[in-house]
Amino acid sequence: MKNNGILRPEVVGEMLKSSGLIQKILFTIGIIIVFRIGIFIPVPGLDTSILQKLFNSGNLLGLIDMFSGGALSSFSILAMGIVPYINASIIIQLMTSVIPKLEELQKEGGEAGRKQLAQITRYLTIVLGTLQSTGIVIALWRSNAIIGHPAASSPPILFILNTVLLLVAGTIFIMWLGEQITEKGIGNGASILIFIGIISRFPSYFKSTMESVEAGATNWFSVSLLLLIFLSLIIAIVYASEGARKIPVQSAKRQVGNKMYGGRATYLPFRINQGGVMPIIFASSVLLFPATISQFVSAGWLKTITDYLNPSKPLYPILYCALIFFFTFFYASITLNPIEIANNLKRYGSFIPGYRPGRPTAEYLETILNRITLLGALFISSIALIPMIAERALGVNTLSGLGSTALLIMVGVAIDLFNQLQAHLLARQYEGFLK
């Protein structure tokens, strides 16, 4: 079965016959159905009209709502979504580079170390989920969104405690669903749930677009041109996601008895988009944070900052790109350590042709990493700005949810899922060969 990146009929047939794959797919679909049902079970006692106003006003809560598939704007029992788990995973990943104990667990702990890090991530998820849900519920009370408890009255302690417990339980449940997909289904569970949350908003995007066209606010030509731009961006993201600088590595030959070992040539892949969607998420969160706080806190200086950080102002795209560059280099620096890579190559008797092992190799790798990271930062900045510019130029603002963050996540998850399917098929081929 030749792999040309296309699922031909014979490939689909082989997939259907593959051992356990159908069960994995059906299990994943079942988990997704349970996840979507939970989104439509609302937390009682809240004013939905105020909720819609708070969460659909282009702030940080709107970004979280996109990840949760609309669960936050409707404030369901799964309102916090997978976000606390993602934040906990990112924090643990960052901490492994500065805390020796965690670094030892990650690199030398093996399967036991991986399980221990996963347990720490779960505990941190509960802590973050509790803090975030408490802050949101208190903010809702101050915004008069809790029925029967106006902001001028005393805080509804019992309601806040009950709601926080319910939201944290929902976060734990979603975390468990994601882990079940990872272990028993197909794909990365957390990524799959985010992907489903994003594409579940498509009907509302298209409905609002049709209403906008019928009202004369825009036209089908502009909408079609914008969709064509999105399609072109998806193609560019696919190429960039799969693109990498391959640095040749040669293993040294050694003789054991009468046999010669080693001498094999391989390569180190430095990906163009090393940080994936994380730089855009971090940059968007930083810029949207003042606007989110200003909805719940009345302060003149905060309103001034919010006005300057309005997406329609010229300062916004400049800061947006600057933050993307910063987080791209920051993320690359904590995920790839040239000194560590050079030491590992030296330890295992490998080298890069033309460079001595040790410091010269590390300096060469650092130069390559800086260049490839700069290229990746330019690419991510372009992906981030093009949808904003296109929507503003064409006068179509009903598809703002399909921006750079959503496109990068959807393409990344789709590629990962496709690669896992192909790996499963390849394993099936080897099984047939051994039999």
- CATH code, 304: 1.10.3370.10
The residue written with tokens 């892949």 in the block is 269
Which helix (H) or strand (E) element contains residue 248?
strand 244-251
Same domain flag for 234 and 326: yes
Beta bridge partners of 270: 245
Predicted confidence band at 173 (pLDDT cuts at 50, 70, 90)? very high
Instruction: Summarize pLDDT for 302-323 with one digit per residue, the tens.
Output: 677 777 777 777 888 889 899 8
Q: Which of 29-33, 87-91, 231-235 has the lowest mean pLDDT?
A: 87-91
Query: Phi and psi of 202, rounded to 5°?
Result: -55, -45
Upper half-sphere CA count for residue 9 (Cβ side, 13 Å): 0
Task: Record the tokens describing residue 318, joined without a space.
Answer: 């400049």
Full-model pTM: 0.79
Q: Is residue 1 part of a domain?
A: no
The residue written with tokens 């010269």 in the block is 360
Q: Is residue 28 part of a domain?
A: yes
Nearest-CA neighbor of 74 among 33, 42, 47? 42
Which helix (H) or strand (E) element contains residue 245?
strand 244-251
How many other C-beta atoms lie within 10 A of the C-beta of residue 191?
20
Same domain flag for 129 and 246: no
Query: Phi and psi of 248, rounded to 5°?
Result: -65, 140
Q: Is residue 11 part of a domain?
A: no
pLDDT for residue 299? 64
Q: Is residue 6 part of a domain?
A: no
Instruction: Summarize pLDDT for 194-242 with one digit per residue, the tens.
Output: 888 888 888 888 888 888 888 888 888 988 998 999 899 889 888 888 7
Q: What is d(CA 356, CA 252) in angstroms, rounded to the nearest whole number? A: 12
Domain boundary residue, one of 200, 221, 250: 200
Q: What is d(CA 294, CA 152) in angstroms, rounded to the nearest whole number? A: 18
Beta bridge partners of 76: 42
Q: How many percent of the chain have pLDDT more than 70? A: 86
pLDDT for residue 58? 57
For residue 312, CA distances in Å to 70, 239, 385, 399 come to 25, 30, 12, 16
Q: What is d(CA 167, CA 76) in angstroms, rounded to the nearest whole number? A: 8
Q: What is d(CA 230, CA 401) in angstroms, rounded to the nearest whole number? A: 12
The residue ranking higher by pLDDT, 225 or 297, is 225
Domain boundary residue, one of 179, 200, 221: 200
Residue type, 109: G
Upper half-sphere CA count for residue 179 (Cβ side, 13 Å): 13
Task: Compute the average pLDDT of residues 179-205.
Answer: 87
Same domain flag for 233 and 115: no
Q: Which of 16-20, 107-111, 336-340, 347-351 has the lowest mean pLDDT?
A: 16-20
Instruction: Summarize pLDDT for 103-140 with one digit per residue, the tens.
Output: 788 777 777 888 888 899 999 999 988 988 888 888 88
Which helix (H) or strand (E) element contains residue 254?
strand 254-256
Predicted confidence band at 277 (pLDDT cuts at 50, 70, 90)? confident
pLDDT for residue 251? 77
Residue type, 398: T
Q: Residue 228 CA to chain centroid, in angstroms? A: 24
Q: Is residue 260 part of a domain?
A: yes
Predicted confidence band at 434 (pLDDT cuts at 50, 70, 90)? very low
Q: Which of 178-182, 303-307, 368-372 has the lowest mean pLDDT?
A: 303-307
Round the average pLDDT of the chain to a whole number and report it. Answer: 81
Same domain flag for 109 and 140: yes
Same domain flag for 384 and 282: yes
The residue ranking higher by pLDDT, 82 or 300, is 82
Same domain flag for 247 and 166: no
pLDDT for residue 19? 58
Same domain flag for 279 and 177: no
Beta bridge partners of 247: 268
Same domain flag for 150 and 111: yes
Same domain flag for 150 and 236: no
State the total domains in the chain: 2
The residue ranking higher by pLDDT, 299 or 208, is 208
How many other C-beta atoms lie within 10 A of the C-beta of residue 60?
19
Q: Is residue 3 part of a domain?
A: no
Q: What is d(CA 402, CA 390) in angstroms, rounded to the nearest whole number? A: 12
The residue ranking higher by pLDDT, 377 or 282, is 377
Domain holding 347, by residue range, is: 211-435
Same domain flag for 253 and 143: no
Same domain flag for 196 and 288: no
Instruction: Summarize pLDDT for 237-264 with one digit per residue, the tens.
Output: 888 887 888 888 887 666 555 555 556 7
Predicted confidence band at 33 (pLDDT cuts at 50, 70, 90)? very high
The answer to whether residue 420 scores a pLDDT higher than 60 is: yes
Task: Compute the average pLDDT of residues 44-53.
Answer: 81
Q: Is residue 394 part of a domain?
A: yes
Predicted confidence band at 2 (pLDDT cuts at 50, 70, 90)? very low
Same domain flag for 159 and 242: no
Q: Is residue 223 part of a domain?
A: yes
Nearest-CA neighbor of 197 among 50, 384, 391, 405? 405
Q: What is d(CA 22, CA 25) in angstroms, rounded to the nearest whole number? A: 5
